[in-house]
Amino acid sequence: MLQVSVLRAAPEEVKQRLAKKNFKDMQLVDTIVQLDDDRKKLQASFDDTQAKVNAASKEIGMLMAKGDKAAAEAIKQNVAGWKQELEPLKEQMAVVEKQLADTLVQLPNLPAPEVPEGKTPEENEIVRTGGAMPDLGPEAVPHWELTKKYSLIDFELGNKITGSGFPVYTGKGAKLQRSLIQYFLDFNTEAGYTEYLPPFMVNAASAYATGQLPDKEGQMYHATEDDFYLIPTAEVPVTNVYRDTILKEEALPVKMTAYSPCFRREAGSYGKDVRGLNRLHQFEKVEIIQIVHPDKSYEVLQDMIAHVERLLQSLELPYRILRLCGGDMGFTSAITYDFEVYSAAQQRWLEVSSVSNFENYQTNRMKCRFKGADGKTQLAHSLNGSSLALPRIVACLLENNQTATGIRLPKVLHRYFGAEQI
């Protein structure tokens, strides 16, 4: 969440930047500043009164020790009065603090200056395009036919076992998943990321810290008996490794990578968007996460983009990198670059990665700080990106590499998959 100090310092500038993100509820900014004023006043008066109570209590203790019971009793009368004053103050403070917290989380992160103006995905900016477009013959088919033809994925079986959006990978299809996960993790750890294998369910505090709650509650599967949430991405458990911690400056940057299945309810999706592997309720993904010094986060963002780009290049897929416009960005992000690969048979671009700098929006919620050389603690910056989400990569690999005799695999996968084609 945003820091109140930022809102106080320049409320009008904050509003302007929020407007770029297509945020409408501008009076919230003023509401927050007002609530914070109220909070400060209440605390000042509460603290003053409490100080009197504390001083009196100490005095009572000393009088009792001396045996001056009468004097002690007299002071007790005063204390009783102050305590009555404290009760309503305490209640008001709790109310104001809750309002402040509830309001503050309604503000999205501020977009970085270089975020393009725009409200819809059409207004995203294409940064660059890479890889060679395949030249498929007219007999090319979409991946949902290929997965059937080669017995790689059984969507109907998934329907029976669970429901739609829960595919069952079989035989070489399952092995391809495993190969990709293994390859992606190796690629990341070789670049200095430490591998984590996190829990696939988190508690509410963790979901709140990375911003899934309260904003996207309906997107997550919720195990109500134990109040756990199935993770929508490994970002949630892995970023929370550093919740409520104060790092040493020399511990930065923290670089983490993790494989996990991702669970998303995707309520309201339909049509060709959800056909085959395009959108699932459960899918596999490898994520990269960094926690860095605030001065370095934009440099690191470029590193992460280059890292994901190299990974896509190694898979020999045609791709493009988009800089998302303000209106299409996520709630918690300051800037986001999406990676899309071209699905030759569907003739459309499919998102396979999203690399974002959250600046201190997540770390402020998480209370993830570091102690600088000057001894002061300050919030770190957090970033993350997919490297990569599997389903659409698989869709493109299958479609773009289909031949009359089978499906070719890119060189880097040969040793993981144990064969050069399917």
Residues that bind RNA (CB under 7 A): 4, 36, 39-40, 43-44, 46-48, 50-51, 53-58, 60-61, 64-65, 76, 79-80, 83, 246, 369, 371, 377
Q: Which is nearer to RNA, 43 or 314 (CB)?
A: 43
Shortest Å distance, C-beta 47 to RNA: 4
Q: Which is nearer to RNA, 7 or 140 (CB)?
A: 7
**Separation between Cα atoms, residue 389 and residue 404, nearest integer Å:** 27
Toward RNA, which CB reaches closer, 73 or 195?
Answer: 73
By beta-carbon proximity to RNA, the closer residue of 36 and 287 is 36
Work out how close the CB of 400 gets to RNA at its nearest, in angstroms, rounded to a whole number.
Answer: 39
For the CB of residue 30, give the shortest distance to RNA in the complex, in Å: 17
In whole angstroms, the minimum distance from the beta carbon of 149 to RNA comes to: 35
Least Cβ distance, residue 260 to RNA (angstroms): 17
In angstroms, the CA 96 to CA 92 distance is 6
Q: Which is nearer to RNA, 90 or 119 (CB)?
A: 90
* Comparison of 55 and 127: residue with beta carbon closer to RNA: 55
Query: How far, in whole angstroms, is CA 315 from its chain's centroid?
Result: 26
Contact 385, 308 (CB under 8 A): yes
CB of 56 to RNA, least distance (A): 6
Which residue stretches of 11-154 are H helix? 11-20, 27-66, 69-104, 143-149
Residue 392 identity (one-letter amino acid): R
The angle subtended at Cα 126 by Cα 121 and Cα 131, nearest 5°, is 120
CA nearest neighbour of 232 among 242, 245, 221, 248: 221
Q: What share of the chain is helix, strand, coil (3-state, %, to 5)?
A: 45, 20, 30
- Smallest gap from Cβ 377 to RNA, in A, equals 5
Say if CB 35 and CB 103 are below 8 A apart: yes
Contact in structure between 311 and 390 (CB atoms under 8 Å): no
Q: Are 408 and 286 in contact (CB under 8 A)?
A: no
State which residue, 281 or 365, has the beta carbon closest to RNA.
365
To 5 degrees, how large is the angle CA 82–CA 86–CA 91? 165
